[in-house]
A and B are shown apart, each in its own frame.
Chain A
Amino acid sequence: MPNTVDSPSIERKDWDAVQQLITEVQQLQLTTVWIAAVIRFWDVAVGVFRVVERERLFELTPTEGDLKLHKALLDSLIKLGQALEARVKGIDDEDLAELGVGRENLSAYVRELEDTFLMWHGPELNPARAAELKKTIFGALA
């Protein structure tokens, strides 16, 4: 006969605790997968943004409307990227790597967009300094 005893003291809440832990792990996995999917989706959005930017702002002379939309959409993409950067801070590198998301690539991506914002919409460099810099760089060729 097995050496067991009746344990009326074991209550449903003990199993509930186990179930709760399992659910949390499942949710954590779901969350990690979900964040990776959102990052991929964001990447697609940035890719489309770059294509439209190229067509409207590089190949054509952009209108005021183009520039306004470019600024607003770029700002949104940067904020989304920054939020994703914050979200992945709590995820292990290994888990991220399994999902094909490198933390350093995400950070580099966000910095790239921030640089783009600076170039298109950042504060304009003092004209005298801009001219001085241009002369310094191109002076030897002039």
Chain B
Amino acid sequence: MPWPEIIVRLFQARYDYEWAPFVTKAQAKERFDAVVLEVTVQFNCSKDELLSARWYHEYYREWVRQNKLPKPPKA
């Protein structure tokens, strides 16, 4: 099943937030929160509902795997 564009943007924002360097965390959070707000308004749900839905979680894992997104080397 293809992911809606807004969900892909949400996944990308989450990924960017999780891997953002310390000095840009607040900016990354702002971008993530903005997309979350967009999703919750469009689909009439709360952030907690969205984030705790297991399908969302599984789809995010799948999206990360499929896109082979880079990860920084171990410190």
Residues of A within 8 A of B (CB): 39-40, 43-44, 47-48, 50-51, 54, 57-59, 100-102, 104-109, 111-112, 115-116, 118-120, 122-125, 129-130, 133-134, 136-138, 140-142
A116: chain B residues within 8 A (beta carbon): 18
The A interface, classified by DSSP as helix, strand, loop or mixed, is helix
B7: chain A residues within 8 A (beta carbon): 137
Contacts A59-B65, A118-B51, A118-B52 given; indicate if A137 touches B75 (C-beta within 8 A): no
List which B15-71 residues lie within 8 A (CB) of chain A.
Answer: 17-19, 22-26, 28-29, 39, 43-45, 48-57, 60-61, 64-65, 71
A118: chain B residues within 8 A (beta carbon): 48, 51-52
B52 to chain A, nearest CB (A): 5
Find A48's partner among B25, B48, B55, B75 (CB 8 Å cutoff): B75
Contact B26 A136 (CB under 8 A): no
B61 to chain A, nearest CB (A): 5
